[in-house]
Amino acid sequence: MLTGSGWAVLLGAVALTVAGLALGYPTLTGVGVAAAVAVACALAAILIRPRISVTRTITPHRVTVGEPALIRLDVHNLNRFPAPRFDAVEQFDGTPLRVRVAPLAGRQRRALHLPVPTARRGLVRLGPVVVERYDLLGLARRAQPISGQAWLWIRPRVHPVPAVPRGVVLDFEGRLTDQSARGSTAFAALREYQPGDDPRHIHWRSSARRGTLLVREHVDTTEPTTTVLLDTRGNVLTPAGFEVAVEVAASVAAASTRGGHEVSLVAVGEDRQAVREAGGYDVLDRLAALERSRADGNDVLVRLAERARPGGTLVVVSGAEQGLVARLAPLRRRFSQVVVVQLDADRADPGDVGPDRARPAGGDGSTPVPTVTRRAGLAVVRATHVDGAVRAWSRVVGGGTAC
């Protein structure tokens, strides 16, 4: 097919030929005919279709934002005759990545390397690879799709944050919550009394027999769980704020997994079927593919929280929307603790695109310092950047070991 230049030359050739014949100027006619011949020669030059095979290799298939990734294209001339030069074009999420391939001898192989941009999180569609041939004047082009499609998973950054402690301080005569599992505490052993032990746990019969105070030691047999509920509403989180929210959710989920918790990710408007069809298999893959949704109102977020598995820790990552904390507060009875992380990226210093700066708060326009507000069974974190949210999270969980 003709390129834009080819169509321009062809139209010019027609116009010059017609004008030359109509006005009786042989020179114009000759120029028009010559231009038409050039277009015909260009089309003839690309009629030869090289027998080329291209094999794509992505290294690695999964990267974190900012990490290097490389596409290797192994090009093989299947013909015993030389193949003229051509362009190999890889589609990177719709954006062409072009590399010029010099003429190949018969049966020759050549490896091409394409560095790919990974500055933005996402599930990136690769392919198909297209072999394009042009004539010497760039008047005609022939495209030949060679290989199929593939996926590159660009995952969010995971920041070192402490996991929620596995141990639960049991209050045998405290308030009964909706998530309390009947029979979830079991007797483990007897040990000597130590200052600070609850006198209610003293086993008097064994103490009398041994002549020293012994206390019953119990363990919580319930499996520790962490549910991360991520808000994706576009009217609550700006594009920059949404990326911060995804990184916070990824960091909490990764730390909880390494801390031995069963982690469940719930996201507003997520298409889990599409993620599975693309080959996604874990939380970070799901977060890589996640996009902002058009959902509206707090009801959609509250309904997802109400459907979440009760017990354990519920972590809600959202924007700085008014009234959200009040709507989530009644859920404290369903979980051992609820943490609401509210991110307000719009309040960040415009010159501070990266993490929070450790600057004091004040009326001088500096970046707001992250805050933590606690109630019974509920903690609210307010921050503008990832680092601020990470520092505040460490305060919430008591400065456990970062994972």
Centre a 10 Å sphere on the Cβ of residue 367 and count the other Cβ atoms it contains.
Answer: 22
CA terminus-to-terminus distance, the chain: 57
**Mind listing the pLDDT tens digit for each residue in 70-101?**
999 999 999 999 999 999 999 999 899 999 99
Q: Report the C-alpha gap between 261 and 276 in whole angstroms.
A: 23
Chain centroid to CA 202: how far? 52
Q: Report the C-alpha gap between 281 and 258 in whole angstroms.
A: 17
Q: Which amino acid is at 272?
A: R
| Helix/strand/coil (H/E/C) assignment for every residue in 309-365 | CCCCEEEEEEECCCCHHHHHHHHHHHCCEEEEEEECHHHCCCCCCCCCCCCCCCCCC
**Mind listing the pLDDT tens digit for each residue in 363-396?**
444 557 889 999 888 999 999 999 999 999 999 8
Buried b (16+ CB within 10 A) or exposed e, 109-146: eeebebebebeebbbbebbbbbbbbbbeeebbbbeeeb
The alpha-helical segments, DSSP class H, found in 24-141 are: 26-45
Q: Which amino acid is at 222?
A: T
Q: Report the C-alpha gap between 36 and 15 in whole angstroms.
A: 11
Of the candidates 63, 68, 402, 39, the residue with the CA atom closest to the CA atom of residue 251: 402
With vertex at residue 250, the alpha carbon angle to CA 244 and CA 254, rounded to the nearest 5 degrees, is: 150
Burial class (CB in 10 A: 0-12, 13-18, 19+), 41: middle
Residuewise pLDDT in 10s, the chain (403 residues): 899 999 999 999 999 999 999 999 999 999 999 999 999 999 998 887 889 999 999 999 999 999 999 999 999 999 999 999 999 999 999 899 999 999 999 999 999 999 999 999 999 999 999 999 999 899 999 999 988 899 999 999 999 999 877 644 433 344 444 544 544 565 666 888 888 788 888 989 998 988 889 988 765 555 688 999 999 999 999 999 999 999 999 999 999 999 888 999 999 999 999 999 999 999 999 999 999 999 888 899 999 998 888 888 999 999 988 899 999 999 888 888 899 999 987 655 434 434 433 334 444 445 578 899 998 889 999 999 999 999 999 998 874 444 4
Collect all residues with Cβ–Cβ distance below 8 Å to 17 and sequence separation of at least 6.
Answer: 28, 29, 32, 33, 36
Q: Report the C-alpha gap between 226 and 260 in whole angstroms.
A: 10
With vertex at residue 275, the alpha carbon angle to CA 236 and CA 292, rounded to the nearest 5 degrees, is: 15
Residue 92 near residue 124 (C-beta atoms within 8 A): yes
Q: Report the C-alpha gap between 145 and 131 in whole angstroms.
A: 6
Q: Report the C-alpha gap between 145 and 163 in whole angstroms.
A: 48
Question: Considering just the CA atoms, what is the radius of gyration of the chain in Å?
Answer: 32
Q: Report the C-alpha gap between 320 and 318 in whole angstroms.
A: 7
pTM of the predicted structure, to 2 decimals:
0.78
Residue 311 near residue 226 (C-beta atoms within 8 A): no
With vertex at residue 193, the alpha carbon angle to CA 187 and CA 199, rounded to the nearest 5 degrees, is: 75
